[in-house]
Structure 1
């Protein structure tokens, strides 16, 4: 039953990624058609981010009351409805209004699904599931491009993705009995000895079902550390996604169109890295994955910043940084039940998601401000500072957890 439900969860992770790239890929056409400035895209993403933060913080209460399966199904339904709303909108104000359920649905499903997988499946599945998120995020721009180049318009692109979301929603509602049945089963026979050992460790604290307030969650020992670590990682990932192309154009003198295409190498590194990392995840453990990931990011930054004439090192560096980023997010999430107890994991993952969205919302624009004052060539050093913060916070968290568990 665990294995069959896992197929449903893989589909849900694809649905998580599908909407993420739509605003950016369609905005050059949308802002022209609606006669609004290019910068207004930031307002829509801010509304979405606010919704994701709110629903992430409410995820503990919602999941314990309704169950992870129902929260996931309703949340995907909300995103499907919101995307359909985008497809019939003819004004910027309507887009902002539909961005509210869009964000609320995305945040709730993200926190609920990640916690469910962290509690019930081995680390390799967490890595592969986030790889499938990448497939969804990569697919939606192609869907939008097909609709735009085919003359169907951006409305059709949103409508197509919303239809996919509605189909996935139907599958999730049909699968609701599986979630309850899987919770009663011992486990998944396909798990190896390392995975079973890991699940035994995270099962030491029985779930109390008690809902923690935001203040109670933050006061748990180690939670501010993991929030800072997650904030730093997500800031690294999103800043690289946003500024890699501009760095190659302004610092390396690359053609604009080539740079736009090559910037996807970073995303390729993350997606393919999560696929490969899944095979070693149970063997290396969450802490090992995070440490190797951080070291790999630093190597990639050295390649990107190297003062050489050829651009090959920069391109290789983008892939290497992506490979380094690949295991960090899934490993931090998967380690949460072990670090804070099963009874607290949903609440902690909720605040982790909230800190992640804050990092992705504010840190890339902050670099833009700094780059206007200094130079965009400072991008590798900005990423390095965030990476060092990630390392310091994650290692402090490890020591805090070890002290608590060794009492």
Structure 2
């Protein structure tokens, strides 16, 4: 596997994160410019997620019809068009259209790169690729903050992001043929019964859904939980939530290397236990330090789960079905990243913010149970001891 293709994959993830992270910070200024209430931001999310789910689910079929390099190039330039659409949008409807197009483009890039990484990267490389999204999530808000602090239009931030993505699009065009030239890795197959693709896909998608539900639930509701259920000052709670994402970023940088040394299976098993323990600490009555420690533990434990589950897709469903399975799993994860936190939101409305911890614990326990079934021999297995 070429080091330059790994770098390009990481840059693609940084680029994907930029427009995602820019919107939340830019929206207050955008809403004034577009004469919309701040709450209108909630209308955009289903359009973006819907587009991403659709294109992710179709990734396997698209890769069957065109080369990876071509799909990445087309999708990246669609993303450029979408970001330019934000920059020139005269109304909310134009923003909705740009959001849908960006979701379609990002879902295709995400699904295609993960399908590629699942067959050609090791544990360290794929976790680095996913860590790059965290880096982009830090850079995006910084760009908007600098632009708005300089009393410039929010549209300039999108112009800058479009320029960065156009540079990536040019890089994809120049390297279109190199993706096909890279040879797939040949992992050592685990001993035992052959995997059952149907059950492997269902259980794998279930684990993805539930894990992303926990991760996204803390990202969305962690601040409210700390301030409302534990009376933590707002500025401190904000730092804790930032620390949550920082720990996940650092965990992905380091735990991929650990998985290559001790094996993917042990790292995933430890991660499942850590997520349950962390959400258990959040749900347990006690001082706020316990909830904060639990949140950071979940961040560390969650860090390698998504990339390592992608990496082992072929072992669960077989190489011939891996590309399509990756797309389905990506779609399941993206959908649940909205649905499960949304369900927790309904519970908060019915009860109060104290329900967040127990709800996350329930999802984490269900996730660990689904993973235990997934790891059983012949079910759709995850290698137990071989290095990734």
Q: TM-score, normalised by structure 2?
A: 0.91
> What residue number does 1:8 align with?
8
Tell whether the 8 Å contact from 1:127 to 1:281 is kept in structure 2 after alignment: no
Q: Aligned equivalents of 1:291 and 1:361: distance in 2?
A: 25
Deviation for aligned residue 1:150: 1.2
2:343 pairs with 1:388: no
Q: How does 1:146-161 map to 2 (within 5 A)?
A: 146-161=146-161
Provide the rounded CA distance (Å) in 2 between the counterparts of 1:56 and 1:403.
Answer: 21
Q: Any idea what the Cα deviations from partners look like across 1:192-240, whole Å, max 9, x if unmatched? A: xxxx6xx2439xxxxxxxxxxxxxxx98232121111111011111111
Deviation at 1:45, TM superposition (A): 1.3
Offset of residue 282 of structure 1: 1.5
Which residue is equivalent to 2:224? Answer: 246
1:205 corresponds in structure 2 to none
Deviation string 1:358-394 (CA, Å, 9 cap, x unpaired) is 1012111211110111121121111111111111112
**1:353 equivalent among 330, 344, 351:** 330
Q: Which residue of 1 aligns with 2:205?
A: 227
Secondary structure (helix, strand or coil) at the match of 1:220 reads helix
Work out whether 1:377 is the aligned partner of 2:365: no
Residues 316 and 381 in structure 2, CA contact (< 8 A), matched pair in contact too: no
1:47 touches 1:100 (CA, 8 Å); kept in 2? yes
Q: Which of 315, 339, 344 is 2:316 aligned to?
A: 339
Distance 1:404 1:225, change over 3 A: closer
Report the Cα offset of residue 398 of structure 1. 2.0
CA–CA distance in 1 between the matches of 2:293 and 2:369? 26
Q: 1:326 aligns with which of 286, 300, 303?
A: 303
Q: Which of 181, 186, 201 pairs up with 2:189?
A: 201
1:126 maps to 2:126? yes
Question: What's 1:173 paired with?
Answer: 173
Superposed displacement of residue 32, structure 1: 2.9
Q: Give the whole-Å Cα distance in 1 for the aligned partners of 2:73 and 2:144.
A: 24
C-alpha spacing 1:391/1:306, structure 2 compared with 1 (3 Å): closer
Separation of aligned partners in 2, 1:401 and 1:29: 54
Query: Partners of 2:103 and 2:379 in 1: how far apart?
Result: 36
State whether residues 49 and 103 of structure 2, in contact with CA within 8 Å, keep that contact through their aligned partners in structure 1: yes
- TM-score (norm: length of structure 1): 0.87
How far off is 1:54 after superposition?
Answer: 1.0
Give CA deviations for 1:41-89 in whole Å, capped at 9, x if unaligned.
1211110111011111211111122122221222122112101110111
The answer (yes or no) to whether the contact 1:269–1:318 under 8 Å persists in 2 is: no
Whole-angstrom CA distance in 2 between matches of 1:225 and 1:165: 35
The equivalent residue for 2:291 is 314
| Bigger mean CA deviation after superposition, 32-41 or 347-356 | 32-41
Size of the aligned set, in residue pairs, is 377
Matches of residues 45-194 of structure 1 in structure 2 within 5 Å? Answer: 45-183=45-183
Change (3 A) 1:302 1:391: closer
Match 2:261 to one of 283, 301, 312? 283
Distance apart, 1:304 and its partner CA: 3.0
State how far apart, in whole Å, the 1-side matches of 2:94 and 2:379 are.
50
The match for 2:339 is 362
Unpaired segments of 5 or more residues in structure 2? Answer: 191-195, 383-388
Cα pair 2:281 2:290 within 8 Å, conserved: yes
Cα distance, 1:403 vs structure 2 = 7.6
Equivalent residue runs for 1:250-265 within 5 Å:
250-265=228-243
CA contact (8 A) 2:51 2:101 kept: yes
Instruction: Indicate whether 1:398 and 2:375 are aligned.
Output: yes
Q: Secondary structure at the match of 1:111?
A: helix
How far apart, in 2, do the equivalents of 1:286 and 1:387 lie? 20
Cα distance in 1 for partners of 2:376, 2:17 equals 34
Where does residue 270 of structure 1 map in the other structure? 248
Note the C-alpha offset of 1:332. 1.0
CA distance in 1, matches of 2:289, 2:284: 11
Counterpart for residue 236 of structure 1: 214
Cα RMSD after superposing both structures: 2.1
Q: Are the equivalent residues in 1 in contact too, given 2:79–2:102 (CA < 8 A)?
A: yes
Q: Which residue is equivalent to 1:22? A: 22
Partners of 1:93 and 1:257 in 2: CA distance: 35
